[in-house]
Amino acid sequence: MPSTPSDPPDSSDAPDTITVEVPRRGAFYLLVALVLLANPLYTNGLLLGADHAYQYEAHRVEPTDDSLVVHSLADDDTEDRFPLDGVLCADVPYDRACTLEHAIGAGEVNVTVPYEMLATPAENPYFLGGDGQFYRRTGVPVEGEDAYRVGHERVPAAAALRALSMPAGDAGPTVQRVLADGSVTTFHELDDAGRVLRDDGDYYVVFATAHRYSSGGFTSCGSEGDGFCERVENTMLVRSIPTLLGWLGAVVCLVLARRAWRT
């Protein structure tokens, strides 16, 4: 019997989409390359271009009857000047504001101000006098004038520290590591540096004792001669090597993925 031509295929039976299978090996190489390229995000390794490096040290703050003693936990040195949040003149005793406050305290000048200018700013309720004691600004009304004569009253160091302090456990993790180790090198500023920290009745403060700055080919580094500048250069190089090797491996994986897709 003569054969009959078959009916043409129904176009409605054609698939709606066309699926292209990508070789699994190429997809694997691509995934590995992406992981290697992103490694600075989870290793914090690339430091060659870091603008700042800091050495933070923890210090014990000990109030006494006639001064405030600050000892480094790293080397037991005593600091004469130190930053304390909420306290003027602790780290920079000779700027204009501190010179005026010291002159008022010594009775060398009389200063009268309107009432709204009398109060010490809330963010700095105390200032540290040249004798190492805490003071708070006071005012005596000037007879016949809408003004107050500025004066000072001494505040016990223990009371001032208690009012300024926060629990050490509420500080950031890096600050807590500085308290535990005495000294830590970081490549970013610490938010809680300068805060008075309270732990079991003792007071501490963490602040930077060395700083390296680099920008546009210019580099400046200041420390107390403890080898910080050389040490941080070596740290930046060593911690950057795994990242650079990871990027090299990512390039190799991308080449292998391209070859897998072309075969």
Residue 10 counted as domain residue: no
Which neighbouring-strand residues pair with 223? none
| pLDDT top residue among 120 and 164 | 164
Question: How many domains does the chain contain in total?
Answer: 1
Query: For residue 11, what pLDDT is reported?
Result: 52
What mean pLDDT is reported for the chain?
76
To the question of pTM greater than 0.85 for the whole model, the response is no
Phi and psi at residue 171, to the nearest 5°:
-75, 165
- Does residue 89 fall inside a structural domain? yes
Q: Tell me the sheet residues that pair with 219.
A: 214
Express each pLDDT in 174-198 by its tens digit. Answer: 999 999 999 888 888 898 888 999 9
- Cα–Cα distances in Å, from 36 out to 16, 44, 133? 37, 13, 55
User: Is residue 42 one of the residues assigned to a domain?
Assistant: no
Range of the domain at 199: 52-222
- The answer to whether position 14 is within a domain reads no
Give domain status of residue 23, yes or no: no
